[in-house]
Amino acid sequence: MTLTTLPDRATTQETCLWLAAQTNSPWTLARLLEQGLTPYVWLDFVDQLAELFAEGITGYAAPVVFIDDIQRLAAGSDDVLIRFTHDSERIAIQLKAPGLRRPLADLRFFRRDIAQLAQDLLNPAPVDIAPPPKASLKGLTAEEVLNAFGGIARMDLAKALAGAAGIFGDDGARVRKNSRAGKNSYLWNPVTLAFGLNDAHRVPMPHLKKAFATQPVLKEWQDAWQESLSLLGE
């Protein structure tokens, strides 16, 4: 069985069939996740989940972004567990324990993400050596860091940033004090932070690469990120 067209929010089976036809290779849920494809679950408003919904929003597609939840799916779990996601305004949020469970059949993948994955696989972009990072780059605020990396970190990233201890020892990814914010507010180098998350907290490199490719707040750091990847042979 093959699939020639995709709905806007495709099931796991529809996604695998379509990619198999495009790439001439078999696909599974585990492979989709390994390639960094983000799964979503549609949530309808209920009082227990009110914190996830902006005023007037009655339903939205919530991403499964927490690395432990992703790895649980990739390992063959029989349902979906969501312990960390984004609310209807795309703000990172941790759900109250034990999290939210949904059947595997509720998983969906966005057509635009699937098409982009197929394009990347079939037409890999050449890797160029990037110029040195721009001197004007000063760092990200804690809120920007959480929006970019919060859902894929194997740690309480918000707590680590609030403590301003450098996360990885010494200054770690911390750049300098944010003079426009409170006394415990610092700016952070997302490139250093990303490699630290990979090395110290086992965040998969495909998830980090996807963050730099898709998160608007990381756009200005692309050159520094690509240069670092090139130097490390990634």
114, part of any domain: yes
pLDDT attached to residue 211: 87
190, part of any domain: yes
pLDDT attached to residue 176: 58
Which domain does 19 fall in, by range? Answer: 9-122
Tokens of 126: 């050449």
pLDDT attached to residue 179: 52
More confident site: 22 or 136: 22
Residues 117 and 34 placed together within one structural domain of the fold:
yes
Q: For residues 145 and 149, give the distance between their C-alpha atoms in angstroms, rounded to a whole number.
A: 6
Residues 164 and 96 placed together within one structural domain of the fold:
no
In which element (H, E) is residue 79 found?
strand 79-82
- In this prediction, residues 129-136 reach a mean pLDDT of 47
Residues 111 and 212 placed together within one structural domain of the fold:
no
Percent of the chain predicted with pLDDT > 90: 41
Helix (H, G, I), strand (E, B), or coil: what is residue 185? coil
Phi/psi at 63 (nearest 5 deg)?
Answer: -80, 145
- In this prediction, residues 150-172 reach a mean pLDDT of 62
Residues 49 and 16 placed together within one structural domain of the fold:
yes
For residue 102, what are the β-bridge partners? Answer: 80
Q: For residues 161 and 188, give the distance between their C-alpha atoms in angstroms, rounded to a whole number.
A: 9
Tokens of 200: 């110290």
Residues 93 and 45 placed together within one structural domain of the fold:
yes
Q: For residues 23 and 118, give the distance between their C-alpha atoms in angstroms, rounded to a whole number.
A: 7
Domains: count for the chain: 2
Q: What is the pLDDT of residues 167-184, one digit of tens each?
A: 544 345 566 555 554 545
Is residue 27 scored above 90 in pLDDT? yes
CB 188 within 8 A of CB 178: no
Residues 77 and 106 placed together within one structural domain of the fold:
yes
Q: What is the pTM of this model?
A: 0.57
Residues 111 and 149 placed together within one structural domain of the fold:
no
221, part of any domain: yes
Residues 16 and 102 placed together within one structural domain of the fold:
yes
Residues 146 and 106 placed together within one structural domain of the fold:
no
Tokens of 11: 């099931």
- In this prediction, residues 31-53 reach a mean pLDDT of 94
Q: For residues 127 and 230, give the distance between their C-alpha atoms in angstroms, rounded to a whole number.
A: 8
205, part of any domain: yes
More confident site: 160 or 1: 160
Burial degree of 191 (CB within 10 A; 0-12, 13-18, 19+): buried
Residues 148 and 218 placed together within one structural domain of the fold:
yes
What single DSSP character describes residue 140?
Answer: B
Percent of the chain predicted with pLDDT > 70: 79
Helices (H) and strands (E) in the chain, counts: 9, 10
Q: What is the pLDDT of residues 190-210, one digit of tens each?
A: 888 888 787 777 788 888 888
Beta-sheet strand order (sheet of 59-63): 9-10, 107-110, 40-44, 59-63
pLDDT attached to residue 124: 77
- In this prediction, residues 214-218 reach a mean pLDDT of 87
